Copies of this chain bind each other. A is one copy, B any other.
């Protein structure tokens, strides 16, 4: 045990390339060559190395490997999302994963729950780990701090919410257009008191969806009633409370536009509780599972999180592959899915 070099009898932790070299009776470099599939190793020697690797259960240490291969990729990307437990984010993440796995790239995902500080910590952590690129569903209002990372070669693609104060690729949905379409459909059926229930106003999607809502009113030459617009429903509980309050007014709205999936679900619970699902029209933004089986079906503006995630991932990998074209903004179309709840007519008189 007093001789120099690694203890070759029984490596304490993981076997290293040196253990393998010693056991196979070759130089470490030759082992490296075999492991990396480099040409120029005699088959007989390669076989000895392979056997040694097998016997020791050797696994190349990726940290050491990428350290040496200067400037080399770590084969990892970071994805910062609001909450994996939200089906929208989860589906998007899954699509990213799919593209990444095909390339042998692993995904580091962090949920940040609308907390700008958690976002900053998550991004810093990803930089420390030298991910090759990042896909960001940001919370924060300003992303200028990422400019430095970008300059140093970090590739960033924003999803769902565009970058602010930064030139970066973006893949999102036609939020304003979708909201406008939904609200126009309600107006067309004669609704005038259409409530808007939306997320925090610092979130661009919320802002855009509200803009679409307002635009529909402008298009129709109808005035909006500011009393019917509620913001900051970033917790289910708040969304429920807001819906309950709106629906218990004497001049309650005849239709609801809920601008996000969790708000839609909260509103559905309240409508059901008040036995108003057949009487108050309702369109949500984002599809909800089983929404088609309710009575009436839940009409929604559907976006395609899989397509958004896939597109973002492909964009990111394109950048990693050297695409240095101008910054791209991809806006995916959305679709109004009519299932019943959005097609209810306004009730003339209410008890």
Give 19 pairs: A residue, B residue, CB < 8 Å, sorted on A: A13-B71, A13-B153, A14-B152, A57-B149, A61-B130, A62-B129, A63-B64, A67-B67, A76-B129, A85-B91, A87-B87, A87-B289, A94-B111, A98-B111, A101-B110, A104-B125, A108-B108, A268-B290, A289-B290
Query: Would A125 and B152 count as touching, CB distance under 8 A?
Result: no
Query: Would A130 and B94 count as touching, CB distance under 8 A?
Result: no
Cβ of A127 within 8 Å of any chain B Cβ, yes or no, is yes
Query: Would B94 and A84 count as touching, CB distance under 8 A?
Result: yes
Known contacts A108-B107, A125-B106, A268-B293; decide if A83 and B74 are in contact (CB<8 Å): no
Kindly state the separation between the CA atoms of A174 and B111 in the bound complex, as whole angstroms.
29
Cβ of A90 within 8 Å of any chain B Cβ, yes or no, is yes
Cβ of A148 within 8 Å of any chain B Cβ, yes or no, is yes
- Across-interface contacts of A272 in B (CB, < 8 A): 293
Kindly state the separation between the CA atoms of A149 and B13 in the bound complex, as whole angstroms.
10
Query: Would A128 and B60 count as touching, CB distance under 8 A?
Result: yes
Question: Which of chain B's residues has its CB closest to A109's CB?
Answer: B109
Number of residues on chain A facing chain B (CB within 8 A)? 55
Kindly state the separation between the CA atoms of A265 and B118 in the bound complex, as whole angstroms.
35
Query: Would A64 and B62 count as touching, CB distance under 8 A?
Result: no
- Which chain A residues numbered 24 to 64 have a C-beta less than 8 Å away from chain B? 57, 59-64
- Which chain A residues numbered 78 to 130 have a C-beta less than 8 Å away from chain B? 83-85, 87, 90-91, 93-94, 97-98, 101, 104, 106-111, 118, 124-125, 127-130
Known contacts A61-B130, A109-B107, A290-B291; decide if A93 and B84 are in contact (CB<8 Å): yes
Kindly state the separation between the CA atoms of A125 and B107 in the bound complex, as whole angstroms.
11
Cβ of A222 within 8 Å of any chain B Cβ, yes or no, is no
Cβ of A66 within 8 Å of any chain B Cβ, yes or no, is yes
> What is the minimal beta-carbon distance from A287 to any residue of chain B, in angstroms?
12
Q: Which residues of A contact B (CB under 8 A)?
A: 13-14, 57, 59-64, 66-67, 71, 74, 76, 83-85, 87, 90-91, 93-94, 97-98, 101, 104, 106-111, 118, 124-125, 127-130, 148-149, 152-153, 265, 268-269, 272, 288-295
- Across-interface contacts of A98 in B (CB, < 8 A): 111
> What is the minimal beta-carbon distance from A310 to any residue of chain B, in angstroms?
13
Of A64, A94, A153, most buried by chain B (CB within 10 Å of CB) is A94
> What is the minimal beta-carbon distance from A23 to any residue of chain B, in angstroms?
16
Question: Which of chain B's residues has its CB closest to A306's CB?
Answer: B85
- Across-interface contacts of A57 in B (CB, < 8 A): 148-149, 152
Contact partner, A63, options B74, B85, B268, Cβ 8 Å? B74
Q: Which 10 A-B pairs have the closest CB atoms?
A: A63-B63, A85-B94, A90-B90, A290-B290, A62-B128, A57-B148, A84-B94, A85-B91, A84-B90, A59-B127
Contact partner, A265, options B66, B87, B269, B289, Cβ 8 Å? B289
